[in-house]
């Protein structure tokens, strides 16, 4: 079957319209940095500078703890309610923050 010039033109216009619509939709949504999976491997406390809790209602699909290292790397760990080492590491960070250090919850880094 041979396509006519009008059919090709219509298909090209439709393709262009879809591409422009998807670009406009993507530019209006805020990008969310989410953990897609977690690791249950303990992280040494000396390399962690801050943390935040990733909630499922924030646009992310899983509940997780995001630890930020002194080198600004983000490491995804289980939520503190399901992992003992995570809750202990959070307690150490909170204690360090109360002593006057710059470290602790929700510090941008």
Question: Nearest-5° angle of CA 75, CA 35, CA 98?
Answer: 50
CATH 2.170.190.11 fits 45-105, yes or no: no
* Distance of alpha carbon 102 from alpha carbon 8, whole angstroms: 62
Is 0.75 surpassed by the pTM of this model? no
Kindly state the greatest CA–CA separation across the chain. Answer: 77
Q: According to the model, what pLDDT value does residue 99 have?
A: 84
pLDDT tens, residue by residue, 53-96: 999 777 899 999 999 999 999 999 999 999 999 999 999 999 98
What ranges do the domains of the chain cover? 1-31, 45-105
Residues 4-57 pLDDT 10s: 666 666 666 655 555 655 544 444 466 678 999 999 999 999 999 999 999 977
Q: Which residues pair with 53 in a beta bridge?
A: 65
């Amino acid at each position: 079957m041979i396509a006519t010039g009008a059919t090709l033109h219509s298909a090209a216009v439709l393709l262009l319209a879809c591409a422009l619509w998807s670009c406009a939709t993507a530019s209006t949504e805020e990008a969310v940095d989410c953990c897609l999976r977690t690791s249950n491997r303990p992280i040494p406390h000396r390399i962690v500078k801050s943390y935040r809790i990733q909630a499922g209602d924030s646009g992310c699909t899983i509940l997780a703890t995001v630890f930020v290292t002194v080198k600004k790397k983000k490491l995804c760990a289980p939520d503190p309610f399901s992992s003992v080492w995570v809750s202990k590491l959070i307690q150490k960070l909170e204690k360090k923050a109360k002593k006057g250090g710059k470290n602790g919850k929700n510090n941008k880094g």
